[in-house]
Amino acid sequence: MNWDWLLLPAEGLMPHPGMPAGWVETVLAAMLLMVAWAIWIPVRTGHPHNSLSLARLPVIGPVVRKVLIMPWLLLVLRIVVAAIFLLTIYAGLFGTPLPERNLATMLTWTIWWSGLVGAIFFVGSAWCAICPWNSLAAWLVRRRLWQRGSETASLDLRVPRVLRNVWPALLLFVGLSWLELGFGITVSPYATALLALLMVVLATVSLAVFERKAFCRYFCPVGRTIGFYSELSPVALRPIDPDVCARCKTLECYHGTADVEPCPTHLVMGRTRQNTYCISCDACSRSCPHQNVAWRLRSTGEEIIQSAHPRWDEAWFILGLLALTSFHGTTMLPAWERWMSALARVIGDSGQLLWSFSISMGVSLLIPVALFALLAWLTQQMIAAKPEYRRVFSALALSTLPLAFVYHLSHNLSHLVRESRGMGQVILNPLGTNTQPLTCAQIGARHMLSMIQQDTIFALQAGLLLFGFWMAVRILRHRITRILPEGQAAAGWQILPVLMFIVAITLYNLWLLMQPMTMRM
């Protein structure tokens, strides 16, 4: 079938090629089969909890236990990452303004941000354990490299109740996205460095004022994104033997010890069921007198299906994440600038077209959220018991998380494998001293001579999109049973409203992957 009518004409800079029709047809056929399965096959209750603690495996088990209580290992990693981070800031402030030649933009946007999303699936929230924003803030405020800081190092105020949620992180995420896309921070080494410094300042001020690490739990948009995405990860930090935690009365994992900080995000390991707020900092594993904390493997999506209990604010963050990931892709369409210029002429905007961009961003975020809210209400009306709307909204919002994750990963994959060419030269010359812009030949080579073959990229993107769709449908089928009266089975027609939303978002993301995408640098 000819799908050329769905493609936007490319203009301006040479774009990334889009997914060809053959892969699109494969995805559509598989989606159709999954929809039929979702509607006609009843949901099986009593989903088993399949998990395995790495600490109980032969050979590697003792190694895992040992590694988790080594403070120096994590300290070394934090120092190395912090040193690279400071070098990145220096390069952004004092290096070349050419984004493709400067370490600040290449490492931050092409390597770190693109690779981080994929790493979450395999290592959960491990990045938070070595995050330089957190490390530098802790060293500045606590004045200790790794031991428990002084009781007077912080004002240790309790976070106001109005801020004890993820609304601040969502607002900061939207604000940073507005700066990133509206002001072109991704192609400005200097602005990238200033943004990095801003995040350190926010983390430091928060640690100096509030108890524990309020920035990590409530305010950090990257940390909360990692936290929600890691709910899909097959890796989690959990008790080796739950019975040991059940018998524990002292709760060192929560309170800490004389040498080890308490849990920075107020978690008790024995009661932890979600990855959402765990930052893998190793405080619980080092403070536990029974050495009862280790990495555990479980089936993908089990946490969301079985254990997750989303709050109202968390559901909104997930939907905001979904809308923002698709919006990022939309802004990289070759036709985006033409659309902005047309809107600017209508509203009389000029200059950087910030009003046009802001309006477009607001509408792009509002449409999917409003549509989901409407369909969640419709689902509520289809249930005879009429459960509370917030409960329906929050429970079903979890089903959209895989859609955000797989599109985020698919979109970043193209940038990572194409735009990372030449990273070796940037590492050898991080400031880009005496460098010149890329030539047309070099730009063409970055498009066509990526790290992996182009067909492999398309296959991975198609596979990821199908995986996300399957996970979303699977989660929806299980989550809707949580809002029905106990013992009542879910009917296929009851999932139709939100299933239609999942299909619509997936089709839009598939359309985006079909389009040529403008390179960032």
pLDDT beyond 80 at 46: no
**Model's pTM, two decimal places?**
0.92
Q: Identify the pLDDT of residue 182.
A: 86
Per-residue pLDDT, averaged over 180-201, amounts to 93
The Cα 181–Cα 263 span in angstroms is: 35
pLDDT beyond 50 at 29: yes
HSE-CB at 150 with a 13 A cutoff on CA atoms is: 11
Percent of the chain with pLDDT over 90: 61
pLDDT beyond 60 at 9: no
Mean pLDDT check: name the lowest of 182-196, 480-494, 500-514.
480-494
* AA identity, residue 15: P
pLDDT digits 0-9 by tens, 251-304: 999 999 988 999 999 999 999 988 999 999 989 999 999 999 999 999 888 889
| Dihedral Cα 240, 241, 244, 245, nearest 10 deg | 60
Of 182, 173, 202, 192, the C-alpha closest to 109 is 192
Q: Identify the pLDDT of residue 12.
A: 47
Per-residue pLDDT, averaged over 337-341, amounts to 89
Instruction: Please provide the distance, in angstroms rounded to a whole number, between the alpha carbons at the two ends of the chain.
Output: 34
Per-residue pLDDT, averaged over 492-517, amounts to 92
pLDDT digits 0-9 by tens, 195-211: 999 999 999 999 999 99
Percent of the chain with pLDDT over 70: 92
The string of DSSP codes covering 398-438 is GGGHHHHHHHHHHHHHHHHHHHTTTHHHHHHSTT-TT--PP
pLDDT digits 0-9 by tens, 423-459: 888 999 999 998 888 777 766 666 665 667 888 889 9
Domain regions of the chain by residue span: 49-68+235-298, 71-145+159-222, 308-426+438-518
Q: Identify the pLDDT of residue 449.
A: 59
Q: Identify the pLDDT of residue 492.
A: 73
